[in-house]
Amino acid sequence: MSNTSFDYIVVGGGSSGCVLASRLSEDPNNSVCLIEAGPKDRSPWIHLPIGYAKTMWDPKVNWKFQTEPDPGVNNRQIYWPRGKTLGGSSSINGLIFIRGQKEDYDAWRDLGNPGWGWDDVLPYFKKAEGNDRLSEPLHSQKGPLKASSIPKKHPLVEAFKKTANALGVPETEDFNNLTQEGVGYYQLTTHKGFRCSTAVAYLKPAKKRNNLEILTDSQACRVIFENKKAVGIEIFRNGSKSILRANKEVILSTGAIQSPQLLQLSGVGPAKLLQEFNIPLVHDLPGVGENLQDHLQHRLIYELNQPISTNDQLSSWFGQLKMGLDWLLFRGGPLSIGINQGGLFTRVMKDSKTPDIQFHLATLSAEMAGGKVHPFSGFTMSVCQLRPESRGHVRIQSADPLIPPKMFANYMSTSYDREISIAAVKYARKIAQTEPLRSLITREVKPNNPQSDEEILEFCRNNGATIFHPTGTCQMGPDSDPMAVLDSSLRVRGVQGLRVVDCSAMPTLPSGNTNWPAVMLAERAADLILGRI
């Protein structure tokens, strides 16, 4: 460490943190320190798109969180993987390029967050985006974060598309259009056969700057306050604790689980909770850790009567050799794409004006995401509710920063969420029973033929799992909202010099995958911090 004092300290080198570190250090007059608890992103499995089947379980680059037993899923604990390396979850995620719906961001604005409507955020989505095919007015080909099209058609995805068309869902080449509804191939956050994480897109070009210090393997312990002003951060590194000073601001970008944890450890949060662990109160902020939201996925698995799945390639040495050669010689094939190729957004509830469910079509099958593939030809249809009503919370269980907080997801805790889960599974089964997909299917492996709504709901309770999108635990909101942790400039209420910039700031879940919204959030936050808007 060459310095112990910086203008800006960014805590968390993940999807948002890498963006902030890069943008704030573009001005050579700003000294910036980025702190990441995990290692550098050197694992080859990070950079190989299909490698997240490995990083999903690797404690070196994954926090491997577990929720508390949840009544909504029959008291099961749900595994929550989160990135613990430069790039954060963008280094281990499923690579899907989705922004969400225009209406999501207009809803943020209407909740009392000026500057976060669709017209406000679109320029920042475009600032980040380097699309290989789509361009103005809704896209850009100039940004650092790459969005690449899947180059080769897959017979399973083609059958899925035609089946959805038969059920009235139109084909689309852009799920990030103003109308999200449709079926087609996802674009992926890849570039020339490699994963394009925020560490690759933003941090790698910025590393050479003299005004940017990057500290890996450095655990943030607490924010240091003086008279309610954040002036630094205490870190644990190389076996000892030290304090880094921030001349201007401390910015937390440690995600929807650890940003509220770090605030609570630092004395900002519900007073009663902090008293329980003898943490000196800096500011009583009851919303810290509340409003937790996540997408719960229901995975339906089918056996195919033709050897066209990735299972078939992975189950033979010849198939594995061909996959390897495709990637080595052409940067193509399954290794360059990942698992989920096909997508579908549609409505299953009568009151929904926009799509309320999302499908991820995987050309392989396993008992759980990232698990060992089945010995038969198989595929997976994962379906999730886009805008769940259920809310959970994150609360520390110790004053020790190395002990993870307790996570209560409260999945399917409202009747609406249960109804839409049943309707989503019914719709997925309808797809499987419709031509031309039906002719490719030998049998339904999961949910194994439940008949009644009660049986389908029980399947959801016994098998539902996260699709890795926790958000909302430090929500932004107006002064009139007692549970709002941040103002619309992402500043922590009641203190100075402290912001939170990550998915925890989102008041509601975007309708889709959360990585690109996290990037957009950081792009706009950089301009807010630097006084450009």
Query: Which residues are marked as active site?
Result: 469
| Contacts of residue 203, Cβ cutoff 8 Å, sequence gap at least 6 | 13, 18, 21, 22, 34, 86, 87, 214
d(CA 32, CA 8): 5
The gap between the terminal CA atoms of the chain, to the nearest Å, is 33
Contact 300, 465 (CB under 8 A): no
Contact 98, 355 (CB under 8 A): no
How many C-alpha atoms does 222 have within 13 Å on its Cβ side?
19
Long-range contacts of 223-227 (CB under 8 A, 24+ apart): 223/250, 223/252, 223/262, 223/263, 223/266, 223/268, 223/498, 225/266, 225/267, 225/282, 225/495
| Tokens 């100039």 sit on residue | 142
- The answer to whether the bond into 404 is cis (omega within 30° of 0) is no
| Tokens 């209420």 sit on residue | 493
Residue 321 DSSP SS3: helix
Contact 91, 54 (CB under 8 A): no
d(CA 245, CA 225): 10
- The answer to whether the bond into 355 is cis (omega within 30° of 0) is no
| Tokens 């050197």 sit on residue | 42
Tell me which DSSP letter residue 280 carries: P
Listed in order, strand segments (DSSP E) in 68-198 are: 79-80, 129-131, 145-147, 182-185, 190-191, 194-195
